[in-house]
Amino acid sequence: MENKLDELLQNVPTIINIGVQDFAVSLQTQGAPTIQVEWSPPAGGDREMIELLDKLV
Amino acid sequence: MATGYIIRKNEFYDSVFLMRVAKRITEQPGVQQSAALMATEKNKILLADIHLTGAEIDAASPGDLIVAVIADNDQIVRAALDHLDDWLRRDQAGSSEPAPRTLDAALARQPSSNLAVISVPGEYAAREARQALERGLNVFLFSSNVALEDELSLKQFARARGLIVMGPDCGTAIISGIGIGFANVVRRGPIGVIGAAGTGLQEFTTQVHHAGSGISHALGTGGRDLSDAVGGISALSALDALERDAATKVIAIVSKPPGAQTLARLTERMSQCNKPVVACLIGIRDELPGANIRFRVARTLDEAAMLAVQIANGKPSTSPNPIFNLQSLISSHRARLSPKQKYMRGVFAGGTFCYQAQQILCDAGVVVHSNAPIAGNVALQNARQSVEHTIVDMGAEEFTDGRAHPMIDATLRRERILAEARDPQVAVLLLDFILGYNASAEPVGDLIDVIKQARERGIVIVASVCGTEGDPQGLHRQSKLLQDVGVIVLPSSEQAARAAGLIASGR
């Protein structure tokens, strides 16, 4: 199995950006393939519900 | 005066975007103050501080948006809030398709992804990072406030699978020429660097660039990685990878002093590396065991960059932009100070710059007060109030709670510079400016009017600008803005700290 970090360093990174959208914009400007995830807090930020969801998964 | 707010259920925006929204609303005529934030408990306290409370706000959850406006009259408040959709409109990055809402949907669209860049609020960050690692992605974790046990378990999980977690609280990386987070536009080249400190990585990579060489990769680890609690898991993974990487000929490590056990482990690993290594563990003065011609120790960021370039080139490098007349420049400024002006005040955006400046001044025998004191210096009782010689890290938690880092949001730094300018005992102000992707579009412009006011009060201002000509803000343009109002601009943070120390200590 190839080391995934070694693989990452071999070429321009291919990125999934979760959070600050400006980061995705600057990565795309530089030519790195980047997809922005439209993230929002899971279960509306309800901690108990998040824990329950994680247990179910 | 009138006040109003709108709550939008289940409408999430990132904090940097919302900071810009609030700024644009506040710039409208008649608006005194505005806030645009997610309804977290911490943000509700910030709202209460400006007397915005109510049952609706209490009931709002972290996935709900609150936009509040305080203005001269009701009409202005209504006008601002009626245009909320305009304020919240933003350019869709890239694709015309709607953005995926989950990691799996993003992976389905871009199956070759190999890095997740995560900057969600700290309490959700570990969960997102784990999901990314489970799907075989390396992680750049910008978020702070991630629990230590989460950091450790994420890093152990990653290491066992040949992955890396850069962070949490990782500000900067450059991979194959692509800057991630706060990063400068630097030449590609043979030097690979590992950094536990974001601004330390920025200063190192720009100094290497100025010296004519370049960077293969710059890998951040997060500030806690080299503590004994984490044991340098990411730093060691990065070192292994750079040792195997064909583009990297020299490896540098930039950090505050590691924990004792981790230092021993790291030192042993560095001394056995089959490529030359330069270790800059700011604050460690002694030689490290095993240091030799292939494993060198640098005491400052400038020295680390020079050594790395020298090894990469196979010949001594010269310092770029040497200041021939620094001593006479300092003497002429000193001569114009009044007898009451005795103290130096450093107001920093970069944590590593704050740390290194203290080290340099400490070596010069100048004791300073700080909100982030190094050994031998004095902790400020109140971070917001300077005492004698003071160096303050405006990026520390007490200043960034609920607002963006001073590299993006200059509000509190402006206020602090103004407060220092009004203190008749202040002789010299020491400032840093950080350019690059995702930093403020006008790092100098944000502060120039308060800098002018300080100059008008006869205060000497010494500054450094961390950046390159290729950065969106332009190194030359930013430096010239400062020089035009009489600021002494030096080519590195180290040199600026030395100059400020010389002025403050009267030598």
B95, B98, B163: residue with CB nearest A5: B163
- Answer yes or no: do A42 and B124 touch at CB < 8 A: yes
Nearest to B175 among A13, A50, A54 (CB): A13
Residue A12: its pLDDT value, please?
97
Burial B395-433 (b: 16+ CB within 10 A, else e): bbeebbeebbbbbbbbeebbebbebbbeeeebbbbbbbb
Please spell the DSSP secondary structure of B283-338, one letter per residue.
Answer: T--SPPTT--SSEEE-SSHHHHHHHHHHHHHTSPPPPSS--TTHHHHHHHHHHTS-
Q: Note the pLDDT of residue B15.
A: 87
Number of Cα atoms under 13 Å in the Cβ half of residue B284 = 20
Q: Which two tokens stand for residue B189?
A: 């080249």
Q: Count CB atoms within 10 A of the CB of residue B303.
A: 16
Q: How far is A25 from chain B (nearest CA, A)?
A: 6
Residues B380-431 have pLDDT tens digits of 999 999 999 999 999 998 888 777 899 999 999 999 999 999 999 999 999 9
Chain A residues with CB inside 8 Å of B16's CB?
20-22
Residues of A within 8 A of B91 (CB-CB) are 25
The H or E element that residue B209 is part of is helix B198-210
pTM of the predicted model as reported, rounded to 2 decimal places: 0.94
| A10 close to B (CB below 8 A) | yes
Query: What domains can be seen in chain B, in order of their start residue?
Result: 2-88 (3.30.70), 170-313 (3.40.50.261), 326-505 (3.40.50.261)
Identify which of B110, B116, B161 has the shortest CB distance to residue A18. Answer: B116
> Is the pLDDT higher at B272 or at A44?
B272
The verdict on domain A4-56 having CATH code 3.40.50.720 is: yes
Cα–Cα nearest to B62, from A37, A46, A53: A46
Which is nearest to B172 in space by CA: B139, B195, B149?
B195
Nearest one of B265, B272, B443, B283 to B349, comparing CA atoms: B443
Residues A1, B94: C-beta atoms closer than 8 Å: no
In chain A, which residues have their Cβ closer than 8 Å to the Cβ of B139?
none
A38 contact B CB<8A: yes
Name the residue in chain A with its Cα closest to that of B41: A45
Cβ <8 Å between A20 and B119: yes
CB contact residues (below 8 A), chain B span 8-67, against chain A:
10-12, 14-17, 40, 61-64
Residue of B16, B100, B247 with shortest CB distance to A35: B100
- Of the pLDDT bands very low, low, confident and very high (cuts 50, 70, 90), residue A57 is low
* Cβ atoms of A26 and B178 closer than 8 Å: no
Residue B95 has what pLDDT? 54
Tokens 């002429």 belong to B332
The answer to whether the CB of B423 falls within 8 A of the CB of B386 is yes
Q: Chain B window 86-115: which residues touch A at a Cβ cutoff of 8 Å?
A: 90-91, 93-95, 98-103, 105-107, 109-110, 112-115
Residue A49 near chain B (CB below 8 Å): no
The confidence score (pLDDT) of residue A39 equals: 93
CB atoms within 10 A of CB B323: 14
Residue B312: predicted pLDDT: 96
- State the sign of the Cα–Cα–Cα–Cα dihedral B15, B18, B22, B27: positive
| Token pair in block for residue B72 | 């001269």
A43 pLDDT higher than 80: no
| Percent of residues in chain A assigned helix, strand, coil, to nearest 5 | 50, 15, 35
B61 CB neighbours in chain A (<8 A) are 41, 44-46
ipTM score assigned to the predicted complex: 0.93
Distance, CA of A14 to CA of A19 (rounded, Å) = 16
Spatial contact of B383 and B399, defined as CB atoms under 8 Å apart: yes
Least Cα separation, residue A50 to chain B (angstroms): 10
pLDDT in tens, B270-319: 999 999 999 999 988 777 777 777 889 999 999 999 999 999 999 876 65
Contact: B241, A6; criterion CB under 8 Å: yes
> How distant is the Cα of B242 from the closest Cα of chain A, in angstroms?
8
Cβ-Cβ contacts under 8 Å, A36 against chain B: 93-94, 99
Report the C-alpha gap between A50 and A29 in whole angstroms: 35
Mean pLDDT, each 10-residue run in order, chain B (507 residues): 93 90 92 92 89 91 93 95 88 67 96 97 94 98 94 98 96 97 98 94 98 98 97 98 98 95 95 95 80 86 96 77 69 88 96 95 92 93 96 91 86 96 96 97 97 96 98 98 96 94 80
List the helix and strand counts (H, then E) for chain A. 3, 2
Task: Calculate the CA B175 to chain-centre distance.
Answer: 18
Q: Is B172 touching A (CB cutoff 8 A)?
A: no
Q: Cβ of A23 and B106 within 8 Å?
A: no
